[in-house]
Structure 1
């Protein structure tokens, strides 16, 4: 029988696509992971990976082995981890990735209560607007929208976000308020450029009667960050269309006003991402339950809808 450490090195390397990323997850050195894989290959008499300078790729034999052992090994490893944690307090480093603006506004304020409940957990959080690879970079969880669901990951929806039009009271002073999305063409627009493909976003807003219409203010500023767009709008520089999660602080403080109430677009879900294993580390399980509880108590899903 193969040592579990060799098999786990193989599975993590296959999931992450590199020995270095697998090593971070396993808290080993890349050399140790590579050695485990080489030993496993010699023992089986099968080459498991095609190696290149950029990425590991499973061979046909590696694909077959992964399909056969990934599920059973995860069950065994989780059972061992669960037994080790029985009757213990959650502890260890909790690595979580989240968008910078969203994380500061909605997740960071929860940290004090989380640490009060679980003082032995060490939060190691990344505030980054890029799309991270949760599996490959060794994160326990991620919070945001549009993350790629790699094999072995699940997404738990926290709320579905509406895209709305907002502007500062000072900008709107003396201007007739728009009554239809098409009228936004008469206003200065703070528009968004995608970081992924550099295109400028366009929006079609809909209402309860099922009508849809283009909402395209005249571009005068182009940003790639919705938090910056809201800040510029609050400065009185124009109208912007942003997800409600980013507009909400300004709307609640009065720095921004909502235009075209009753009109919005679907901005997609904000989700909590984590491994689909039945028995997660205790620190991850309590974090997931805590976030779901706190977002529910704060009625996040209701507040970010139109």
Structure 2
């Protein structure tokens, strides 16, 4: 076990380029990580890193050693994780990344059932509206969209989402309902700015017979979060093009009304991401199955379908 601990300190340091970052992943101090790497170097009689005040750099020998031990270490780690169960049931801390509003609305309500079914698992959920590096961040899984598939990551589609046009009943009270996307030009728009590019988002809407039209409005408010856009729309500030996961609760409650029913834009899938390993830890495997089962049981794919 000592050799595995030394190897883990080395591999995490190599992947992150920092003793401090490796320490955060492993729950140790930077000094402990540095000591483990030094002990491994002494055992091997090989210098693994060139150290500087800013970053660690692998030596040629360190790069070769990393290539030789990474796969065998991953296999051993997964085997230990699979064996680490309480009374034959999955156990351990489960680190998952998810969007703030989506996680709060759709995933937190599942926690009670998940904990009752798997009492040995401790969810460590991270709510953040950004794309995470699953491997570098040390996550067991992530739920969201638009995460680039890198080597060692598997994607399981849970549902497709669509963008629809919505406004509050108060905003539409004295206004005629639009009949075509071109009619939106006469309305105040709550427009989304892309957090990644900084550009305003423009949507081409389509209908069931394949017609397409650009949705253009008078820009009244610019926001970079769809949940904030939904609340701005409910406040009567204008109309908004909202992804169905953010629009559905308010359309169902009547706080928002859908404009141009039958017109929509594809917003891509909601995906469950997890590491591609020969032996997934039981805690990760049961979480994947539980989430997929819950999406099906709660008909979320149907709920998010704006067509």
| Correspondence for 1:9 | 9
Write the deviation string for residues 183-230 of structure 1: whole angstroms up to 9, x where unpaired.
211110001112223221111112233332211211101111110101
Change (3 A) 1:180 1:55: farther
Q: Does 1:81 align with 2:81?
A: yes
1:157–1:269 Cα contact (<8 Å) kept: yes
Q: SS at the partner of 2:90? A: coil
**Unmatched 5+ residue regions in structure 1?**
none
TM-superposition CA deviations, 1:146-177 (whole Å, max 9, x none):
23444433222211211111111221223222
Equivalent runs, 1:144-223 vs 2, <5 Å: 144-223=144-223
Q: Which moved more, 1:243-252 or 1:20-29?
A: 20-29
In 1, Cα distance between equivalents of 2:228 and 2:280: 36
User: Could you say which residue in structure 1 is the equivalent of 2:295?
Assistant: 295
Q: Which ranges of structure 2 fall in alignment gaps of 5 or more residues? A: none
User: Equivalents in 2 of 1:180, 1:61: separation in Å?
Assistant: 65
Give, in whole Å, the separation in 2 of the partners of 1:190 and 1:204: 16
How far the C-alpha of 1:85 sits from its partner, in A, is 2.7
Render the CA deviation track for 1:253-298: whole Å, top value 9, x for unaligned. 1111222222221212211222222223322222222111101111
Tell me how far 1:112 sits from its aligned partner.
0.9
Aligned residues: 305
Asked if the contact 2:134–2:275 (Cα under 8 Å) also holds between the matched residues in 1, the reply is no
TM-score, normalised on structure 1? 0.89
Task: Tell me what 1:29 maps to.
Answer: 29
Q: Is the 8 A contact 1:16 1:135 kept in 2?
A: no
Alignment RMSD (CA, Å): 2.4
Distance 1:82 1:196, change over 3 A: same
Residue deviations 1:45-99, cap 9 Å, x none?
6554455555545455444433333222211221233234385222232222211
Distance 2:54 2:172 in 1: 52
Q: Does 1:237 align with 2:233?
A: no
TM-score after normalising by structure 2: 0.88
Equivalent residue number for residue 279 of structure 1: 279
